[in-house]
Structure 1
């Protein structure tokens, strides 16, 4: 038997129950991983709140996981530290996922557990400089950030990049990745504490989006407008991003925590010749390329707090409040 945190039904964090469940039985081609750490994602909140597609409950949530391989078809994997690619079934076209694309943690068992069985092809070795907790901070956020910056954003060295909503897992890793790739990075946030932290991480400009016409202050601080913007909020703030952007800028959108804009400044899009590009998750090859960047640049993800698995309710409540700087992690051994 193993301990696992299962969502019984939609509702508040208290609907997440710590249970004893049967150990997963690996199918042909699958490996069994004893999990040491699990990272939380906004997706877990959306499923719990009924804001996600094709919800099937009860289910063990969690898409980010790192641990030690206990069983595998290729015995060379046994005993190795591994981080798990968080999605499967992307399909043959690297430009867009197939209809069979799924993310771990609903409907398939996720990583809020002591053990998980996944296809061996989803295993990657953890870079030597990372702890289990740091590795578990990477899968969903790191893959999303890498594809947004490199594949969809076509980041260029020395380019000015604006990362919105600094503090979230994707945004924080986007800042770290962009810096490692030679970009100049600006950020915004509604938290003075998070803006100060971003400056300490190398941001050249940091402004509060609560201020009217904040985009003008950002351009002034940075000495010019951004030509690449990575955004996970959407909403009416998209108009501020259009106002902040340079001519021929690319705006890459990976989420919509503020939903759709009530109006959109269309003239700025065509007069400025701005590209708005969507992105979500990424391919297995992009995940491996992200890990190579982390290893080469010795990037260490920012972790806000580590909770024991037994305190998953408290951890998910903190995530729902969006008060964290970086990732919230569960220690699956406690």
Structure 2
């Protein structure tokens, strides 16, 4: 009989209550894959899209979740010692193979990033995908220069808040947007120099601050605001299309010469574990531990409250990263002993 674990299962597209907690077989990793005992995982907008059946990726039934944080329970290829703290993200997690909404997850070793930290698991669970997306957007997408200006369209999202933190550590001037005036202070608290209320048309306001336009911008809202973001950007500036908070990611009747202002660069970023070097993750976690950086956590849930968590994500009820903690049957020391006995 296979060992069982608790996991969230999605049989097909649906509302938040389509997420069902069940006992399912614990995965057994093949060589080149790593079994992780999950302690926490962050919620991501793409998981909402997957749950709704939007897009053409993935299959059902599926354990969702494109990220997780925990400890190595088994690595048949010897890539990581048992007990190593790790983050796992992307690479097909929660889409083409079962993801992080579970007590255990098996992932390719290439999707695993090791770290060492004494931070609590709810904090560690908030970081991996949020940091990877923010860091990749800033470096791969925008190629941001320290001291330059950055517009973050969708600033109160978890990635937007993380972008503010990273940009300020580079000495950049940050303009961040929110549609909700009540959330403007959250942008300032995160370090934004300018909090802009997003009416859908903010280019003119941005240019009252930077008459020539900003040097870089990260588009997190999606297709409806992209054209306006491009118009807020300077000649030879770069706009990186990263997020789709609007749930709209295609531009109808796209005519580039008319749509993109002359000389403004448009890029995109989706990325994965390869774009988050272990040293960058470790430096960020160390900065959090030292009190130099604050992780923008909105709310922490138990895995039993996954439906409520998705309801909050869908309704935009919480500012910051939503995190789910996973209770385990074993502590890490007993897990190590158990796996060593099992594996001979």
For this structure pair, what is the TM-score category when the shorter chain's length is used for normalisation?
0.7 to 0.9
* RMSD of aligned alpha carbons: 2.4
Large movers: runs of 4+ above 6 Å: none
Aligned counterpart for 2:82 among listed residues 69, 78, 81: 78
* Structure 2: distance between partners of 1:236 and 1:120: 37
Deviation at 1:224, TM superposition (A): 6.5
Given the two structures, how large is their TM-score scaled by the length of structure 2?
0.84
- Which among 314, 320, 333 is matched to residue 327 of structure 2? 333
In structure 1, how many angstroms separate the alpha carbons of the residues matched to 2:277 and 2:319?
23
Further displaced range: 15-24 or 288-297? 288-297
Q: Please state whether the residue corresponding to 1:227 is helix, strand or coil.
A: strand
C-alpha contact 1:243 1:268 (8 A) present in aligned 2: no
The match for 1:301 among 289, 292, 295 is 295
Q: Which residue in 2 is equivalent to 1:209?
A: 198
CA–CA distance in 2 between the matches of 1:263 and 1:29?
A: 44
Q: Is the 8 A contact 1:205 1:218 kept in 2?
A: no
Q: 2:309 is matched with which residue?
A: 315
SS in 2 for 1:249: strand
Q: Is the 8 A contact 1:205 1:222 kept in 2?
A: no
Preserved CA contact (<8 Å) 1:166 1:194: no
What corresponds to 2:342 in structure 1?
Answer: none
1:22 pairs with 2:25:
yes
Q: What TM-score do you get using the length of structure 1 for normalisation? A: 0.86
> What is the match of residue 104 of structure 1?
93
Deviation at 1:45, TM superposition (A): 1.1
1:180 to 163, 169, 177: 169
Give structure 1 stretches of 5+ with no counterpart: 89-102
Matches within 5 A, 1:144-223: 144-210=133-199, 213-221=201-209
Q: Residues 172, 129 of structure 1: CA spacing in aligned structure 2 closer, same or farther, 3 A cutoff?
A: farther
CA offset at residue 138 of structure 1? 2.5
CA contact (8 A) 2:35 2:74 kept: yes
1:238 is matched with 226
- Mark the CA change 1:109 to 1:222 in structure 2 (over 3 Å): closer, same or farther: same
Tell me if 1:277 matches 2:267. yes
The CA deviation string for residues 14-54 of structure 1, in whole angstroms up to 9 with x for no partner, is 11000011111121233322111011111111111111213
Larger displacement relative to structure 2 (288-297 or 149-158): 288-297
| Secondary structure of 2:40's aligned partner | strand
